[in-house]
Every structure is written in structure tokens, then in C-alpha cells.
Amino acid sequence: MRSGALGAGPRSGGAWAPALRALPPSPHGALVSAVSRAINSFLQAIKAAFGSAPLVALVVLGLAGLLGGSERAIYAWVAGQGLTGQSALVPLILGWVGLGLAIELLVGPFVAGTAVFVALRAAGGTRHPPMAGLSYAAKRYGRMFLPHLKAQLLIQLGSQLFLPGLLAWSMYAFADAVVALESDPAPLSRSARLTQGRRATLVWLVLPFMLGGTVKTFFFDFDFVQSQSLPVFVAWMVPWVLWTYLLLLAQVFLYFDRIGGVAALQKAAQQRSGGAEPAGPAA
């Protein structure tokens, strides 16, 4: 058989092609695609982190030191109130929430800016050396401050009830990249639009992290933890902060994938500036 409906199948789908295209997509296929995309973005994040190792190490260790020292102070304060065991859990959770919001207020936009730089560098959007990310983030701190704070308020407060936090994160995961790399006046709305069609991927990306935090709280042992020294607190924080930073990188790579890559950013920047502005640290 040289021709006909079946013979044309491998190239064009033959007479069956319209019917096959009309079939609804398989939910299992959508699930596999979302999980695969999440894993791929996280692997990209790991590769990018190695490519800018000096900057990533400085940011992660600095943030771990800040968080470890602050959390050790919270434990000491709660212990000073005479609370022990599970009775200390509620004030500690309130302390963790307050600490998280304070950190986001002070250094969150800067850390997110360095993550955008690291991902941009790995994607070929700039040839600047890794430590130039400090300058890149500092220049964008002012304009990233308020959108980042709004997004994190919704995410962190929602995270106390788990599902609202998961939903907020899946909507506003691209906000930092939008502020750093675009000129949209409503970055949270822009992020919500861009994440449509990517939210299942974002949920699978962040779900292990959020479940890890829940398990950590469930197996909480105040008496053991509060007896540990400051270096131990900081050491415990390092893998947690590194995981958080890799998530920041992964969501930037998902943002690149959603908009059509760094080339799309460069084209938009050239249109805004008459053909001269690159999408990099000099922008």
C-alpha cells in the first residue's frame, strides 16, 4: 500500500488527523507535562547556581546567617517566657511569620534580584561576571521593593493555611522577574496572567518545599532545638535557604519559557529604547 489514509499516517495523520486533534487532551499527559517541566526548571536552577557559584554562596550563607541568628533569638525569647514543649509552638509560629515578613521587607527584593541575574546569566542574557549580580540587584531594589512585599504578604500569610499560600505562590511567582526585566506598571497582574497555563507546574515545583515545612513543624521538638548553639542554627538554615534560592531561580526559568526566552526580552528592550538597550545588568 503506497498511499491512502493509513499509509499517510506517519507524516500527516491521514484521514484520522482531524478526529485525533478533536479529542480532549489526556489529564495524565497534562500531569506528566507539568511535573516534567517543574523538574526541568529545577535542574536548570541547579546548573545556573553552579555557574554563578561565588554569588550564590555569598547570598545563601549571608541569608542563612541572618535567619539562623534571628531564629535563635526567637527561641531564646520564648524560652525566657517559661514556655516549653508544644506550648511554645504557637508563639514560635507567630515569631517565624514575623521574622519571614521582616526578612522579606529588608533583603527579599535584593535576594530576588540576584536570582534574576543568575538565571539571566545562565540563559545567555548577560556576560557579566557572577559578582556583578550584587550591583544588578542593588540597582533594582527600589522598584522591586513594593511589588515583592505585596506578593510575599499574600504568599506567606496564605501559607499558614497551606492551600491559600500555594495558590498565591502559583499566581505571583513571576512578579520579581517581571519587575526586574520588564516595564509593566502592574507586575502582580502581569504575573497572574503569565502564570495561567503554568500554575500546575508551579504547584509541583513548590509543593515539596511547603510539605517539608509542614513536616518540620509537625515533628517540632522545642526543648531539643532551643538547646542548640548559634552555629548549629545557621548550619541547619543553609540547606533550607539553598532550596529556597533554587526555587527562585527555577521560577525565573519558567518565566523565560513562558515569554519565549531571553531573546523576547532583548527585542522588547530594543523597541523601548530605539534599538540600544540590552536585557542585562546595564539595563
> Strand, helix or coil at 27?
helix
Label residue 26 by pLDDT band (50, 70, 90). Answer: low
Please calculate the CA angle 71-188-177 and round it to the nearest 5 degrees: 75
| pLDDT given for residue 74 in this prediction | 83
How many other C-beta atoms lie within 10 A of the C-beta of residue 45? 25
Greater confidence (253 vs 207) lies with 253
pLDDT at 8 over 70: no
Label residue 23 by pLDDT band (50, 70, 90). Answer: very low
Greater confidence (215 vs 104) lies with 104
Across 24-37, average pLDDT:
77
| pLDDT given for residue 77 in this prediction | 81
pLDDT at 20 over 60: no
Across 233-260, average pLDDT:
93
Contact 252, 191 (CB under 8 A): no
Across 170-179, average pLDDT:
94
Across 23-35, average pLDDT:
72
Q: What are phi and psi of 244, to 5 degrees?
A: -60, -45
Greater confidence (66 vs 273) lies with 66
Residue ranges per structural domain of the chain: 28-273
For the chain, give the mean pLDDT.
82
Q: In the 8-state DSSP scheme, what is residue 3?
A: S
pLDDT at 40 over 50: yes
Whole-angstrom distance, CA of residue 86 vs CA of residue 78 = 12
Q: In the 8-state DSSP scheme, what is residue 24?
A: P
Whole-angstrom distance, CA of residue 95 vs CA of residue 225 = 15
| Amino acid at site 223 | D
| pLDDT given for residue 280 in this prediction | 46
| Least confidently predicted of 84-88, 100-104, 111-115, 159-163 | 84-88
Could you read off the pLDDT of 75-89 as tens digits, one per residue?
788 777 777 666 777
pLDDT at 153 over 60: yes
